[in-house]
């Protein structure tokens, strides 16, 4: 019997089906909840956030004055330096879908490089992300009038727990701290667990004169399981200002609320010469060409005009539209609009890029208060850009892993388990390899052997048979940088005919490989299949999303990432390789090493951080060398003849 996959809810571990598929992030088991532990709450990764600025901030020219405001409606992945001191949180517009303006700051257990703060552990918790404001002058205003408690200074912000990512558990928390004049931090607010399933606004008063000095700061900190990309808190719309009241109904009247959808479908990216085989087939339908504007006013209907323009890399307009009639947006509601389809044929180069800019124009009858004019409009919230790109690979995903995917044997004996993603090649071309994002969450599996496999066909229907065309031995590889892709290149190029083919992996034992899963692919990807008990099955209904697996087609390309800059992975050499057993490992900086056989058994290791390691392997065969340091880990294959 083929058992069905499931999305795992917290506190439902006892009711698993025999064969399941995990999505780490949308929902997760409490008892399985989060990875390796290093119990120090004062890890040096937070050194920047913990510098006491009180002694020096008065000499800084950029000490801030009220009002302080950030709605994170800008391209991340880091907070802007003019407002914040540290880079731990992830600025994005993919982890939530009902924010009041586009852009949120996501707290998890990954640092700015996408590396867990401590070794992943299911059971231990620790301090993780910190978001610290720059110094703010609460001693006096710009006219040198002294502030007092009677000035009604409030800090407000919105928080959502989970979103499209992982719901925090009961022991996970987000807290807010204020710093006083002698440099002490005091916790003034906190939440635990899943208490804000939708964005909820909180107001905190500056009600103590100890905070009325010229280098005041506030900071948010999350304490979560050592789980990597899990247990998410999302922060939005942070405002600190005077003359406020609790729960005042004030927010930017109109704003873009979500990322616009792309121009292509079903793929987000594909080779341009493949697109040109049948451009109409790869253009998104009207339901996928949507963009979203929101009216955050409590009781006033907003009237807006809008325009849309798409340009190529030469800044030449290839599409434009200007609305001539204003649209009504009821209070506390969103307006969804759809742009027309337009041709993408005739672009120059083999990897063209199209930038589509959406802009709304508030009708002149809309009233803005002084805060709107003074603060909110300083941010570019009235326009948003969506990039459409072509490249030498096929991709369904948008480059952001809100969740991780894995097979769960759930009591089945060790044996082969498979997952594949189907692609439909537009024309005959060469297969170069595959990029895979391994989501760093739950547990480290960088030492577990897998096979990356390419299939011409699988036996998923009548008259079909498994036809494996290539496989390579590998281990999951974590790439520094958020949402970085590990590249697996073929030793021999393969000519693939036009039509369907499949890419995926085989594992031989029960471990959670945790491949990146894009929740913003908001439909069931019917081209994903899994096999644990001898036959292939599609994902069941309700499993909306897609795997972050990208086959490389046509020309060789340099490594890429999808969301932000990829930091270099650990550089090291293994030589001679192949060898008779005497092996040297040389790094460009101090490294530790572990050697595993292809069953995943640890053969030897050295936890001493050195530039050069020498070792001897006596048995012929293939081994996996895992090196690591403070930046992360990398692997190489070692062959002993």
CA-closest candidate to residue 72, choices 147, 145, 157: 157
Other Cβ atoms closer than 10 A to 552: 23
What pLDDT is stored for residue 325 in this prediction? Answer: 85
Percent over 70 (pLDDT), the chain: 83
CA distance 598 to 447: 9
Task: Look at residue 372 and tell me whether its pLDDT is greater than 90.
Answer: no
What pLDDT is stored for residue 374 in this prediction? Answer: 43
- Contacting residues for 483 by C-beta, under 8 A, at least 6 apart: 114, 399, 400, 401, 437, 516, 548, 561, 562, 563, 564
What pLDDT is stored for residue 362 in this prediction? Answer: 63
Other Cβ atoms closer than 10 A to 180: 17
Q: Tokens 């391994």 — which residue?
A: 438
- Most confidently predicted of 22-26, 431-435, 636-640: 431-435
Higher pLDDT, 448 or 299: 448
- In terms of phi and psi (left: phi > 0; alpha: psi -120 to 50; beta: otherwise), the region of 253 is alpha
CA distance 146 to 142: 10
Q: Dump the DSSP string for 35-92.
A: ------SS-GGGHHHH---TTTGGG-TT-B-SPEEE---S--SS--TTTBS---SEEE
CA distance 566 to 569: 9
CA distance 442 to 450: 18
Q: Which of 51-60, 352-361, 591-600, 627-636 has the lowest mean pLDDT?
A: 51-60
CA-closest candidate to residue 82, choices 94, 68, 93: 68
- Quick one: tokens of 424? 């439909």
pLDDT in tens, 479-530: 877 899 999 999 888 999 999 999 999 999 999 999 999 999 988 999 999 9
- Quick one: tokens of 8? 């795992």
Q: How do 450-457 and 233-241 pair as beta strands?
A: unpaired
pLDDT in tens, 186-212: 999 999 999 999 999 999 999 999 999
CA distance 112 to 564: 11
Angle at 167 between CA 88 and CA 265, to 5 degrees: 85
DSSP 133: B
CA-closest candidate to residue 521, choices 162, 94, 105, 76: 94
User: Can you give the three-state secondary structure of 477-528, one letter per residue?
Assistant: CCCCCCCECEEEEEEEEEEECCEEEEEEEEECCCCCCCEEEECCCCCECCCE
CA-closest candidate to residue 34, choices 142, 128, 121: 121
- Per the DSSP assignment, residues forming a β-bridge with 488 are 434
CA distance 189 to 220: 9
What pLDDT is stored for residue 459 in this prediction? Answer: 96
What pLDDT is stored for residue 299 in this prediction? Answer: 79
CA distance 402 to 374: 35
Higher pLDDT, 557 or 239: 239
φ/ψ (deg, to 5) at 475 = -130, 150
> Could you report how far apart the first and last alpha carbons of the chain are, in Å?
43
pLDDT in tens, 402-419: 999 999 888 888 899 999
CB-CB contact of 309 with 319 (8 Å): yes
CA distance 538 to 518: 17
CB-CB contact of 529 with 537 (8 Å): yes
φ/ψ (deg, to 5) at 573 = -120, 145
pLDDT band at 371 (very low <50, low <70, confident <90, very high): very low
What pLDDT is stored for residue 621 in this prediction? Answer: 84
Task: Look at residue 382 and tell me whether its pLDDT is greater than 70.
Answer: yes
- Quick one: tokens of 128? 């993780």
What pLDDT is stored for residue 394 in this prediction? Answer: 98
CA distance 573 to 585: 6
What pLDDT is stored for residue 48 in this prediction? Answer: 26
Q: Which of 40-54, 61-75, 397-411, 517-531 has the lowest mean pLDDT?
A: 40-54
CB-CB contact of 532 with 18 (8 Å): no
- Contacting residues for 17 by C-beta, under 8 A, at least 6 apart: 3, 4, 6, 410
Task: Look at residue 42 and tell me whether its pLDDT is greater than 70.
Answer: no
What pLDDT is stored for residue 526 in this prediction? Answer: 95
pLDDT band at 253 (very low <50, low <70, confident <90, very high): low
φ/ψ (deg, to 5) at 282 = -110, 5
What pLDDT is stored for residue 45 in this prediction? Answer: 25
pLDDT in tens, 566-590: 334 678 889 999 899 899 999 888 8
What pLDDT is stored for residue 627 in this prediction? Answer: 85
Q: State yes or no: cis peptide before 77, omega within 30 of 0.
A: yes
- Per the DSSP assignment, residues forming a β-bridge with 593 are 606, 627
What mean pLDDT value characterizes the chain?
83
Task: Look at residue 91 and tell me whether its pLDDT is greater than 60.
Answer: yes
What pLDDT is stored for residue 317 in this prediction? Answer: 96
CA distance 232 to 288: 27
SS3 content of the chain, % helix, strand, coil (to 5): 5, 45, 50
pLDDT in tens, 127-177: 999 999 999 999 998 888 899 999 999 999 999 999 999 999 999 999 999
What pLDDT is stored for residue 56 in this prediction? Answer: 32
Q: Dump the DSSP string for 90-159.
A: EEESSS-S--SSS-EEEE-SB-TTS-BSS---SS-EEEEEEEEBPPB--SB-TT-PBP-GGG--EEEEEE
Distances in whole angstroms, Cα of residue 308 to Cα of each of 252, 282, 323, 380, 447: 21, 21, 9, 16, 48
Q: Which of 256-260, 266-270, 486-490, 598-602 has the lowest mean pLDDT?
A: 598-602
Q: How far is CA 259 from the centre of its chain?
A: 14
pLDDT band at 594 (very low <50, low <70, confident <90, very high): confident
């Amino acid at each position: 019997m083929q058992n069905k996959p499931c999305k795992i809810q917290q506190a439902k571990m006892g009711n698993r089906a025999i064969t399941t598929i995990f999505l780490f992030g949308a929902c997760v088991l409490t008892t399985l909840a989060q990875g390796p532990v290093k119990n120090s709450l004062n890890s040096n990764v937070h050194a920047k956030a913990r510098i006491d600025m009180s002694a020096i901030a008065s000499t800084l020219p950029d000490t801030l004055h009220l009002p302080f405001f950030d709605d994170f409606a800008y391209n991340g992945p880091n907070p802007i330096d003019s407002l914040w001191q540290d880079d731990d949180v992830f600025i994005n517009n993919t982890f939530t879908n009902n924010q009041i303006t586009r852009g949120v700051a996501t707290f998890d257990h990954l640092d700015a490089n996408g590396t867990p703060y401590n070794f992943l552990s299911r059971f231990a918790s620790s301090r993780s992300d910190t978001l610290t404001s720059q110094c703010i002058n609460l001693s006096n205003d710009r006219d040198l009038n002294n502030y007092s408690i009677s000035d009604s200074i409030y800090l407000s912000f919105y928080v959502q727990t989970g979103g499209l990512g992982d719901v925090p558990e009961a022991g996970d928390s987000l807290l807010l701290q204020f710093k006083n004049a002698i440099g002490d931090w005091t916790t003034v607010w906190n939440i635990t667990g899943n208490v804000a399933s939708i964005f909820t606004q909180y107001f905190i008063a500056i009600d103590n004169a100890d905070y009325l000095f010229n280098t005041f700061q506030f900071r948010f900190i999350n304490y979560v399981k050592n789980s990597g990309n899990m247990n998410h808190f999302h922060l939005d719309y942070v405002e600190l200002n005077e003359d406020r009241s609790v729960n005042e109904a004030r927010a930017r009247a109109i704003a873009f609320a979500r990322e616009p959808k792309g121009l292509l479908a079903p793929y987000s990216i594909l080779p341009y010469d493949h697109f040109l085989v049948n451009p109409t087939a790869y253009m998104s339908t009207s339901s996928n060409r949507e963009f979203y504007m929101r009216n955050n006013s409590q009781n006033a209907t907003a009237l807006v005009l809008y325009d849309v323009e798409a340009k190529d890399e030469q800044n030449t307009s290839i599409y434009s539209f200007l609305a001539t009639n204003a649209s009504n947006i009821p209070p506390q509601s969103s307006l969804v609009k759809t742009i027309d389809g337009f041709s993408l044929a005739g672009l120059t180069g083999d990897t063209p890029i199209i930038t589509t800019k959406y802009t709304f124009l508030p009708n002149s009858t809309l009233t803005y208060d002084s805060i709107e004019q003074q603060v909110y409009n300083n941010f570019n919230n009235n326009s948003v850009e969506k990039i459409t790109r072509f490249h030498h690979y096929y991709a369904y995903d948008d480059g952001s892993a809100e969740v991780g995917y894995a097979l769960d044997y759930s009591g089945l004996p060790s044996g082969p388990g498979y997952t594949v993603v189907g692609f439909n090649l537009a024309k005959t071309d060469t297969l170069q390899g595959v990029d895979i994002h391994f989501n760093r969450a739950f547990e480290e599996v960088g030492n577990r052997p897998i096979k990356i496999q390419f299939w011409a066909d699988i036996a998923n229907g009548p008259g079909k048979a498994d036809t494996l065309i290539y496989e390579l031995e590998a281990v999951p590889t974590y790439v520094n940088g958020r949402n970085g892709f590990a590249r697996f290149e073929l030793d021999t190029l393969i000519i693939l005919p036009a039509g369907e083919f499949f890419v995926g992996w085989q594992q031989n034992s029960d471990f959670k490989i945790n491949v990146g899963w894009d929740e913003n692919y908001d439909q069931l990807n019917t081209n994903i299949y899994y096999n644990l008990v001898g036959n292939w099955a599609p994902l069941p209904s309700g499993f909306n999303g897609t795997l972050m697996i990208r086959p490389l087609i046509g020309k060789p390309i340099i490594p890429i990432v999808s969301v932000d800059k990829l930091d270099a992975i650990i550089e090291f050499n293994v030589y001679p390789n192949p060898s008779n057993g005497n092996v040297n490992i040389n790094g460009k900086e101090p490294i530790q090493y572990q050697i595993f056989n292809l069953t995943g058994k640890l053969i030897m290791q050295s936890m001493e951080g050195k530039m050069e390691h020498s070792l001897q392997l006596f048995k012929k065969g293939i081994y996996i060398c895992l090196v690591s340091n403070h930046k992360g880990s990398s692997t190489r294959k070692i062959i002993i003849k």
